[in-house]
Amino acid sequence: MKQHVGQAAWVYRKVLRHPLLPGFLAARAAGRPEVHVGWGLKPSGLSAMRAAKRTGRPLLLLEDALVRSLRPGMEGACYGLLADSMGIHYAADGNSDLIESIRSGEPRGWMLPSDPDGIPVDELMRRFRETGASKYNWFPGEYRDAEVPEETGVLVVDQTRGDASIRHGGMVDRDFERMLRAALDEFDGCPVYVRAHPDHVHRRKHSCLPERLLADARVRLLPPDLSPAQCFSFCHTVLVGGSLMGMEALVHGRRVITFGRPFFAGWGLTDDRAPGADRGTRAGLAEVFEAAYVRYCHYFDPDSGEPCGLGGILDHLALQKEMFRRNRGTTVVIGLTPWQRSIVPAYLRSPAGELRHVSGADEAPDSADRFLVWGRWSEVPERIAARTARVEDGFLRSRGLGAAFNFPYSWVVDGRGIYFDAGAPSDLEAIYQSGFSGEDARQARELIDLLREMRLTKYNVGGGNVALDASKTAGRKVILVPGQVEADASIAFGSPELKSNLALLQRVREMEPGAYIVFKAHPDLVAGARHGNVLPPGFAEACDLAVTEGNVLDWLDLCDEVHTMTSTVGFEALIREKPVFTYGIPFYAGWGLTTDRIACGRRTRTLTLEELVCGALIRYPRYLNPETGEFTTALKVARLLVSPAAAEDRRPWYLKGVSKAKRLWVEWARRRPTS
C-alpha cells in the first residue's frame, strides 16, 4: 500500500512511520516533482523502483545513515537517512548515486553538494576516529578498558544471516567460511579475533560463521560489547564481507580485505577477493569518506530535528560517550522519592552502568562505585562520604514547576557538595576557581543572548500584564525582592543570618528607606505545590507592593535592583545586567558581580558575567532531552524550552492527579486554624 503525502511524494506505507521522513521531505524534496519513496531493496523500495520506471517520476530510496543512532531499532534518536535516486549502496549488481559520485567526484541525485557546516573532510575523519563513531554506538566495552586484548591480531567481522547487504552484496553464506579460513591460513601464528554483529545481541539474529571453524584454538570470540574502534586498536588487518566495519577500519588506518563488493571496495583502498570487485578507477580514502558520510547521508539534529552535518552528530555522540563514562559502574541511590527515582535512570544512563536503590544509607553496600543522595538534607556516613554525590535541579529546568512533577531538562550531580550550601565547597565553586577559556566565553555569550531573546528562566512560568503605578514610583528606586520557600535548603544552608521573607523585607527597608519595594511571591507557593505562606505575615508594613502573578522577567524589567537571600532570581537578574544585592551566600555571590552583605572566603576570583554563566549553565549541569532520552547541551535546551512540544503538558495522568491532590492538601493546611 502507498499513500500520497502532500505534493511531494508517493510513500509506501511502512516507510511513513520513519520519524525523519517528514523532515527529509521538507528539507530535500521541496520544489521537486512528485517522487516515489521506498526503503532500500525491501518490498517498498522495489515497488517504488517499479512505479518510478512506469511513471517516469523521480525515485527516492531511503536507508539508515552510516552513523545512525546509539542502538539499533527505534529507541532514542535516529540521526539520519541516506537517499538514492538510482539504487542503493549495498547492491553490487546495480548502481547507486554513491558509486557514481565516487567515480566522478561530483554529487549525484539526492546527494548534498558538500558538508552543511563547511567542516573539512580531514577534520571530520579525525573527529570520527577520536569519537570512536560507528553506525551504532552503544557498547559497554568502551567503558571497561580491561576487556581489550593485549595481543595484536587480525579481525574477522561477522554479519547477520540473511542480511540484505549479503544477498545483494555479491556474497553467499559460505563466503564467510572462506573468509575465516583465509584469516587462519594467511596469518599463521597470529590470533584471529571474531567480532559478532550488534544485532546478534539486540535483535537475536544468527551468525554467518560456521561453528566448526569457530572451535579452532586460534579463534578468539570477542565480547559483543566491544566497539569497532576498540577492535581496531588491537587488530592490524580486518576481513569483511560487506560490513560497514571495513570502511570504519580504513578510517582508522587498518588494512582491509573484502570478500564481497561493498561500496568501499574496488577503489584501490582494499585487498579485494570477490570476483568483479575492481571498479576500473581509483579513489582516495578522503574522497570515499566524503561521498559516503558527508554527501550521501542526510543528518538531522537529534534535538531540533533540523538538518545538520556529520560534525553535529559527532559532537552529539562525543557528549553521550562522555556522560556514559561518568556514569559507568554501580551507583547506589539512597532515599529518593518515587518521582525522583523515576528520573535517575535517564540522567545516570550508561551502557556500562548499574543502578540500585536503597531507602537509607545504612543499607548502602560498600562495594558501589558511587552513591547518590538528593540535595543537602541527607546525612551521609563517613564510610561512603568520599564517593557520594548530591543531586539537585539545574538552573534551566523546565516549562513548569518541579514541585508539580514536570520532568527536568537539567540536573546537577555534585561530588564535593552542592551549589547552595555555602558552608562547604562544591563542584561549581571548583569550576569557578579553575578558570575559563576563550571558547567557554564565546559559548556563554551565545547562551546569554539566547536567554535574553527568548526570555527564559529556571521554570518559565507566569504570565499576564504587569505594571507599576507611576505616581507612586516617581523619583524612587524600584527594588524587586523575590520570595523564597522558607523551608527550602537554600535558605537553611546558604543564608546564615536571614531565614524568612519578612526578615529580608525588613532588612531591605532598613537599608533603603526611600525605595519602592516590590515583593514577588515564590511560584511554588502561589501554585500550592509547596507548604508555606504565599505572602509573609506583616508584609504590608515592609513593602510597597506584593504580587503573586506575572513572569518574574516582566517584574525584572520594571525594577532598578534586586535584593535577595539566595534566590536564583538574582542570577537571572545578573544575566539581564540588573544590580543584585545578596543577604545570604548564593552560588553567584562573592565573584565580584554582586553587592554582598556576607563574604565567602573560599571565593577568591573575580568573574565576568560570561564566566559566571558558563560555570552555572554550561559546565556544571547535565542536560537531557526528555523526548529522545539522550544528553544534550544548554544551548539546545534553551531552544527546546520555547518549542511547542515543551509547552504541552505531557505528565502522565497519575502525576497530574498527585499534583492536584498535593495542591488541595496545601490549600487545606493553609486554611486550617492554628492553635
Q: What is the CATH number of the domain that holds 566?
A: 3.40.50
Residue 618 maps to a domain:
yes
Q: What is the pLDDT at residue 7?
A: 42
| Residues of the chain by 3-state class (helix, strand, coil), percent to 5 | 35, 15, 45
Residue 462 maps to a domain:
yes
| Domain finish residue from 253, 281, 309 | 281
Question: Alpha-carbon distance 340 to 391, whole Å?
Answer: 10
User: Among positive and negative, which fits the CA dihedral 307, 309, 313, 319?
Assistant: negative
Question: Alpha-carbon distance 459 to 462, whole Å?
Answer: 9
What is the SS3 assignment for 370? Answer: strand
Q: Any long-range contacts for 642-645 (C-beta under 8 Å, 24+ apart)?
A: 642/454, 642/456
Residue 447 maps to a domain:
yes
User: Among positive and negative, which fits the CA dihedral 615, 619, 622, 626?
Assistant: positive
Q: What is the pLDDT at residue 28?
A: 82
Q: What is the pLDDT at residue 6?
A: 47
Domain that residue 449 falls in = 434-647
Residue 51 maps to a domain:
no
For the chain, the domain total comes to: 2
Distances (CA, A) of 456 to 440, 462, 484, 613, 622: 20, 11, 19, 14, 18
Residue 368 maps to a domain:
no
Could you read off the pLDDT of 39-56 as tens digits, one per residue? 998 888 999 999 999 999
Rg (CA), the chain: 30
Q: Identify the CA nearest to 173 among candidates 206, 220, 199, 222.
A: 206
Question: Alpha-carbon distance 416 to 149, whole Å?
Answer: 36
Residue 98 maps to a domain:
no
User: H or E stretch including 471?
Assistant: helix 470-473
Residue ranges in the chain whose pLDDT is less than 70:
1-10, 12-14, 146, 162, 164, 197-206, 208, 401-404, 529, 646-647, 649-656, 658-675
| Domain finish residue from 217, 247, 281 | 281
Question: Alpha-carbon distance 531 to 485, whole Å?
Answer: 8
Angle, nearest 10°, between helix axes 438-454 and 634-641?
10
Burial, 105: exposed, middle or buried (Cβ in 10 Å; 0-12, 13-18, 19+)? exposed
Across-strand partners of 596?
582
Q: What is the pLDDT at residue 1?
A: 45
Residue 297 maps to a domain:
no
Residue 545 maps to a domain:
yes
